[in-house]
């Protein structure tokens, strides 16, 4: 009998790791909330300068500050950990097209997912942290600063829960809806095209609601408020850091997040784009959703690789 694969790198204890992730996540929340309100951020980070003042505005300042906070925090807390750190902000310097990083264990971080929502003041932005091994996300953290909500997902343990700042925990609670005509879609505010509208018409779903950030969308599925989210790439596609953490939490909760042909999402493949027709759901109707979506896309956009 083959031994079970390690859940975490050698020498890393789960409770110790979760404790540091809590500290870093709530620190990131404080940084983002301060920048979003035009206040002085904590931990010595500079106040955002407007473009007129010679700066790049609050989004860039917040993004870079949280990026530094997370990378420095993980490096200082675990100086001997056998993992590599990759974030949206460092990818340009770390990655070579077509070449995966040489890392058995890889953190994929998005310090600010939902920049338009951050800038527009909707509050629907998130922070993503995912630990990946062999191309698969094994641990996910999704922070929703404005909701004071922190989601954890441990995929091998099939355990997902949310916490508030007081540490009070609630498990994920996926909805019991199963008929496609009853399913509630959570959709993007800013990324919709005609093909997606045609696909949704073919699926004949029930209600829908618009939420920013992939992490924010998946959190509505985890709370049972909605049932599915569809990402349909066009001229651009979401990246590894957009999907890895939300996918891990959803998988850990018993949901599903795959391509429309059933293929699982993979990370650190040499191509950070998560292209195709990706479906995240509570899992109960996932196979039917995938089959109908794949058939519909074959007519809507022949040759499109789902």
Q: What is the pLDDT of residues 111-124, one digit of tens each?
A: 999 988 998 899 99
pLDDT (mean) for 128-154: 98
pLDDT for res 68: 97
**Structural domains of the chain, count:** 2
pLDDT for res 275: 97
Residue 7 lies in a domain: no
Q: Is the pLDDT of residue 220 over 90?
A: yes
206 by Cβ neighbours in 10 Å (0-12 / 13-18 / 19+) ranks as middle
pLDDT (mean) for 89-93: 93
Residue 283 φ/ψ region, left for φ over 0, alpha for ψ in the -120 to 50 degree band, beta for the rest: left
Q: Which of 52-56, 98-102, 194-198, 201-205 has the lowest mean pLDDT?
A: 52-56
pLDDT for res 5: 55
Q: Is the pLDDT of residue 247 over 50?
A: yes
Residue 34 lies in a domain: yes
The fraction of the chain above a pLDDT of 90, given in percent, is: 87
Domain end marker among 149, 171, 193: 171
| 273 and 150 assigned to the same domain | no
Residue 247 lies in a domain: yes
| 111 and 84 assigned to the same domain | yes
| 97 and 36 assigned to the same domain | yes
pLDDT tier, 85 (very low <50, low <70, confident <90, very high otherwise): very high
Residue-wise pLDDT tens digits, 72-84? 999 999 999 999 9
| 38 and 119 assigned to the same domain | yes
Residue-wise pLDDT tens digits, 176-212? 999 999 999 999 876 678 999 999 999 999 999 999 9
pLDDT (mean) for 65-78: 97
Q: How does DSSP assign 271-292, residue by residue? A: --B--SEEEEE-STTHHHHHHH
Domain that holds residue 248: 180-300
Residue 5 lies in a domain: no
Residue 6 lies in a domain: no
| 184 and 156 assigned to the same domain | no
- pTM for the full model? 0.95
Q: What mean pLDDT, rounded, does the chain reach?
A: 93
pLDDT tier, 4 (very low <50, low <70, confident <90, very high otherwise): very low
pLDDT for res 188: 84
195 by Cβ neighbours in 10 Å (0-12 / 13-18 / 19+) ranks as middle
pLDDT for res 204: 97
Token couple for 200: 């949704």
pLDDT (mean) for 28-36: 96
Three-class SS state of 23 = helix
Identify the CATH number of the domain in which residue 38 sits.
3.30.540.10
| 153 and 88 assigned to the same domain | yes
d(CA 197, CA 255): 24
| 190 and 245 assigned to the same domain | yes
pLDDT tier, 54 (very low <50, low <70, confident <90, very high otherwise): very low
pLDDT for res 189: 74
pLDDT for res 110: 97
| 57 and 135 assigned to the same domain | yes
pLDDT (mean) for 226-255: 96
Residue 153 lies in a domain: yes
| 35 and 165 assigned to the same domain | yes
pLDDT for res 7: 82
| 190 and 125 assigned to the same domain | no
């Amino acid at each position: 009998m083959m031994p079970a694969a390690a859940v975490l790198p050698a020498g890393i204890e789960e409770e110790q790791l979760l404790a540091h992730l809590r500290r870093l996540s709530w620190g990131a929340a404080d940084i983002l909330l301060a920048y979003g309100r035009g206040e002085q951020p904590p931990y010595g980070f500079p106040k955002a300068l407007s473009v007129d003042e010679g700066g790049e505005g609050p989004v860039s300042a917040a993004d870079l500050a949280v990026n530094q906070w997370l990378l420095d925090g993980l490096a200082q807390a675990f100086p001997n950990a056998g993992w590599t750190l990759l974030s949206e902000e460092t990818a340009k310097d770390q990655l070579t097209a077509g070449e995966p990083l040489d890392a058995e264990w890889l953190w994929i971080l998005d310090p600010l997912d939902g920049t338009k929502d951050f800038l527009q003041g909707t509050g629907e932005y998130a922070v993503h942290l995912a630990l990946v091994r062999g191309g698969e996300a094994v641990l996910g953290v999704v922070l929703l600063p404005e909701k004071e909500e922190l989601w954890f997902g441990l995929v091998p343990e099939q355990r997902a829960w949310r916490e508030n700042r007081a540490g009070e925990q609630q498990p994920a609670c996926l909805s019991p809806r199963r008929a496609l005509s009853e399913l509630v879609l959570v959709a993007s505010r800013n990324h919709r095209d005609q093909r997606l509208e045609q696909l949704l018409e073919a699926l004949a779903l029930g209600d829908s609601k618009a939420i920013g950030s992939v992490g924010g969308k998946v959190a509505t599925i985890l709370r049972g408020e909605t049932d599915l989210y569809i990402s349909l790439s066009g001229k651009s596609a979401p990246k590894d850091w957009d999907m890895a953490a939300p996918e891990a939490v959803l998988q850990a909760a018993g949901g599903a997040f795959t391509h429309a042909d059933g293929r699982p999402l993979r990370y650190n493949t040499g191509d950070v784009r998560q292209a195709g027709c990706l479906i995240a759901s509570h899992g109960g109707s996932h196979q039917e959703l995938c089959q109908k979506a794949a058939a519909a896309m074959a007519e809507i956009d022949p040759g499109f690789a789902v």
